[in-house]
A and B are shown apart, each in its own frame.
Chain A
């Protein structure tokens, strides 16, 4: 069964550094998403992306965050200057319409 793949599985970075989280969505999917989950908390929506542009974003997705689909297969989330509170699991998801299919996440640790 096709799946969403995310790399790396764990990323450790220092506060203030830039990180790029990578995702390969399922190949025929058209909608792409990033969610995050702070340890022990619920899954929170960050951003959705369709037709090469952001279709919706949450209040969490501020100017420090950006997304890109640089080629036909990858979908990336960039955090420009990481903060301690950015430490979380970041999940990429993709869909045709519904349901969303999630990857296994990237654990981001900001020290």
Chain B
């Protein structure tokens, strides 16, 4: 019940495309859903996060869509750029407890 399922495992888009990465969770006690971006040799860096009281959050080119009833959330990257090529992890936590990460999506944005 602690698991967070992420898909796809890898994704290739052209520059300007809109990659979408999806995550699903089981634990209804989760109340914090961040997305992390990780470049090779670096630690995960927070990109954007949402709480279940809203269905969408935008920060720059990054948007989280959240569907509480379906227990799913997704990351959309508008106007993707080659510099967005990285591994993206969704995560979830509840009541300040541990962050549970998804399996990661390796995104490649071709020029």
- CA–CA, A86 and B3, complex, Å: 22
> Do residues B89 and A43 form an inter-chain contact, with CB atoms below 8 A?
yes
Judging by beta carbons under 8 Å apart, are A42 and B46 in contact? no
The reply to whether B43 and A45 contact each other, CB–CB distance below 8 Å, is no
Judge whether B60 is part of the interface by a CB distance below 8 angstroms: no
Residues on the B chain within 8 Å of A4, using CB:
43
Checking A42, A48, A56, A105 against B104 with a beta-carbon cut-off of 8 angstroms, the contacting residue is A42
| A102-B43 CB under 8 A given contacts A41-B103, A42-B102 | yes
B78 part of interface (Cβ distance < 8 Å): no
| Interface 1/0 per residue, B41-83 and A, CB below 8 Å | 1111110010000000000000000000000000000000000
Do A45 and B98 touch across chains, with their CB atoms under 8 A apart? yes
Rounded to whole angstroms, the CA-CA distance of A100 and B34 in the bound complex is 10
Q: Are A91 and B101 in touch, CB under 8 angstroms?
A: no
Q: A101 within 8 Å of B by Cβ?
A: yes
The answer to whether B101 and A42 have CB atoms under 8 Å apart is yes
Report the separation of the CA atoms of residues A98 and B18 in the bound assembly, to the nearest whole angstrom: 28
B13: Cβ under 8 A from any A Cβ: no
Whether the pair B100, A45 counts as a contact (CB closer than 8 A) is yes
Q: Are A58 and B43 in contact (CB under 8 A)?
A: no
